[in-house]
Amino acid sequence: MKTLRVLSLGAGVQSTTLALMIEKGEIPMVDAAIFSDTGAEPKAVYDHLDWLETQLSYPIHRTQWRSLKKDIIYAALGENDSFSAPFFTLNSKTGKKGMLMRQCTRDYKILPLYRKLKRLMGYRWRQHVNKKKWHAEVLIGISSDEMQRVKENKLPYASNVYPLIEKDISRAQCLEWMKKNNYPEPPRSACTFCPYHSNKEWLDLKKNKDEWDEIVKIDELIRYADMQKENKITGQLFLHQSCTPISQAKLVNKKNDLQFSFDDECEGMCGN
Ligand code: SF4
């Protein structure tokens, strides 16, 4: 049986540390890394990815289904189908707050990764993989402080591997390891407009004026978007959990300022 070993690369702190630990031989080598591009990462992540590529002897395959950012903008303008990003909702009649279902991780991160995985094994997307002939190991950069994100791979021919957890390495230890090895601190990897951002992360994004202006624009665009009808929401959509426009939201940087976070809402595919 052949084994394909790939790293799921988000280009954030944990997956970058894992990528470089593999390169240094601290973790067994992979055949390739796969970066699922949502088309909505901050420039810092794309720059970091370009740098990381120069540090690795194994290839990074960049793959993209569609641009989530464009899909959101066009859906908000009523020019294409609805989408499913986890925006905050405010019911205008009852004042009740909620959150839309999150489908984006699956559609824009997980499925493109699996498509690429199959292609690397020589299969087309709809083709059946003979699990007696192939097995894929997908290395995921979840650290020991994010145990709740560990999930079993549902594909019959693949299994998830969590080397940072096996080695009991936390996110803080990843940062220490990067520093000790004279590598730059990786940026937070996530869509610029992701509602899972903490106030600290929104404040960091605010430092880049162009990106912040675009975030404010997207926040305004989604407010009364047509998609609300399809989702049967009689209210407004927001990027910030306070359900106020992001340009006016109180971005107080304190610990545990977020009800929802990447740590418990994503499957190790966003934010690391
Ligand atoms: S980072 Fe946020 S918006 Fe982007 S795919 Fe993940 S959950 Fe969705």
Instruction: Return the CATH number at 180.
Output: 3.40.50.620
153 domain-assigned: yes
In a domain? residue 85: yes
Residue 168 lies in a domain: yes
Residue 192: CB within 6 Å of ligand 1?
no
- Report the C-alpha gap between 52 and 21 in whole angstroms: 12
Instruction: Please compute the mean of the pLDDT values over residues 7-16 and round it to a whole number.
Output: 96
Indicate if ligand 1 lies below 6 Å from the C-beta of 134: no
Residue from 111, 68, 13 nearest 222 by CA: 68
Q: Counting runs of H as helices and runs of E as strands, what totals does the chain give?
A: 11, 8
Establish if 102 belongs to a structural domain: yes
Which comes out higher in pLDDT, residue 255 or 264? Answer: 255
Show Cβ contacts of residue 265 under 8 Å, excluding neighbours closer than 6 positions.
Answer: 86, 102, 196
Give 194 Cα–ligand 1 centroid separation in angstroms: 5
Give the model's pLDDT for residue 77: 86
Distance of CA 100 to the CA centre of its chain: 17
Q: What is the pLDDT of residue 75?
A: 87
| Other beta carbons within 10 Å of 250 | 9
Closest C-alpha among 45, 34, 29 to residue 7: 34
Can you tell me the distance from the alpha carbon of 264 to that of 30, in angstroms, rounded to the nearest whole number?
Answer: 27
pLDDT at 259 over 90: no
What are the tens digits of pLDDT across the range 191-204? Answer: 999 999 999 999 99
For residues 261 and 16, what is the distance between their CA atoms, to the nearest angstrom? 20
Structural domains counted in the chain: 1
pLDDT for 229 equals 57
Q: How many CA atoms lie within 13 A of 99 on its CB side?
A: 16
Out of 15, 107, 109, give the residue to mutate to test ligand 1, the one with the largest number of ligand atoms within 8 Å of its CB.
109
Tell which atom from ligand 1 comes closest to the C-alpha of 266: 7
**Would you place residue 26 in the very low, low, confident or very high pLDDT band (cuts 50, 70, 90)?**
very high
Identify the band that residue 55 occupies on the pLDDT scale cut at 50, 70 and 90.
very high
The reply to whether 122 falls in a domain is yes
Give the Cβ contact number of residue 207 at 10 Å. Answer: 9
By residue range, what is the domain housing residue 75?
2-261
Q: Which numbered atom of ligand 1 lies nearest the CA of 193?
A: 3
Which residue, 167, 164, 160, 162, is CA-closest to 137?
A: 160
Q: What is the pLDDT of residue 62?
A: 98
d(CA 86, CA 110) in angstroms, rounded, equals 16
pLDDT at 258 over 90: no
Interval between CA 1 and ligand 1 midpoint (Å): 35
For ligand 1, is residue 102 a contact (CB within 6 Å)?
Answer: yes
pLDDT of 233: 56
Q: Which two tokens stand for residue 177?
A: 């390891």
Residue from 37, 38, 111 to probe ligand 1 pocket by mutation (most atoms less than 8 Å from CB): 38
**What percent of the chain clears pLDDT 70, i.e. is strictly above it?**
90
Given a cut of 90, whether residue 253 has pLDDT beyond it is: no
Question: What are 72-109's pLDDT values in tens digits?
Answer: 999 888 887 766 789 999 988 889 999 988 889 999 99
Task: List the residue whose alpha carbon is closest to atom 8 of ligand 1.
Answer: 104
Residue 256: per-residue pLDDT: 55
Residue 29 has pLDDT above 90, yes or no: yes
Determine if ligand 1 sits within 6 Å of the CB of residue 45: no
- Residue 117 Cα to ligand 1 middle (Å): 21
Alpha carbon nearest to ligand 1 atom 2, residue: 194
Q: How far is the CA of 200 from the centre of ligand 1 (A)?
A: 17
| Nearest CA, atom 4, ligand 1 | 191
| 141 compared with 230, residue with greater pLDDT | 141
Strand partners, 33: 7, 60
pLDDT bracket for residue 24 (50, 70, 90)? very high
Is 67 part of a structural domain of the chain?
yes
Residue 48, in any domain of the structure? yes
User: What residue owns the CA closest to ligand 1's atom 7?
Assistant: 105
Residues 203-236 pLDDT 10s: 999 999 999 999 999 999 999 775 555 555 568 9
**Domain presence at residue 266:** no
Mean pLDDT score of the chain: 90
pLDDT of residue 93: 82
